[in-house]
Chains A and B, each alone.
Chain A
Amino acid sequence: DQQVKQNSPSLSVQEGRISILNCDYTNSMFDYFLWYKKYPAEGPTFLISISSIKDKNEDGRFTVFLNKSAKHLSLHIVPSQPGDSAVYFCAASGLYGSEKLVFGKGTKLTVNP
Chain B
Amino acid sequence: GAGVSQTPSNKVTEKGKYVELRCDPISGHTALYWYRQSLGQGPEFLIYFQGTGAADDSGLPNDRFFAVRPEGSVSTLKIQRTERGDSAVYLCASSLAGGGNTEAFFGQGTRLTVV
Contact = CB atoms under 8 A, between A and B. Distances in A.
Contact of B100 (A4, A46, A99, A105): A99
Contacts, number: 69
Interface stretch (A13-21, A37-45, A60-68, A71-79): A37-45
B47 to A, nearest CB: 9
Nearest to A51: B101
B109 to A, nearest CB: 6
B72 to A, nearest CB: 16
A41 B42 CA distance: 14
Interface in A1-31: 4, 6, 31
Contact of A42 (B31, B99, B108): B108
A49 B108 CA distance: 21
A101 B100 contact: yes
B98 interface: yes
Given A42-B108, A43-B109, A100 B48 contact: yes
A99 B107 contact: no
Contacts of A32: 100-101
A93 B43 contact: no
Contacts of B99: 99
Interface residues of B, number: 29
B56 A99 contact: yes
Contacts of B104: 46, 101
Nearest to B91: A43
Interface residues of A, number: 27
A84 to B, nearest CB: 18
B103 interface: yes
B105 A46 contact: yes
5 contacts: A41-B108, A44-B106, A99-B100, A100-B58, A104-B42
Which 10 pairs across A and B sit closest by C-beta, in order of nearness? A93-B100, A103-B42, A43-B106, A100-B45, A94-B100, A32-B101, A46-B103, A32-B100, A103-B43, A44-B106
Given A43-B93, A98-B100, 10 more contacts: A36-B106, A43-B106, A44-B43, A44-B91, A45-B106, A46-B104, A99-B55, A99-B56, A100-B56, A101-B100
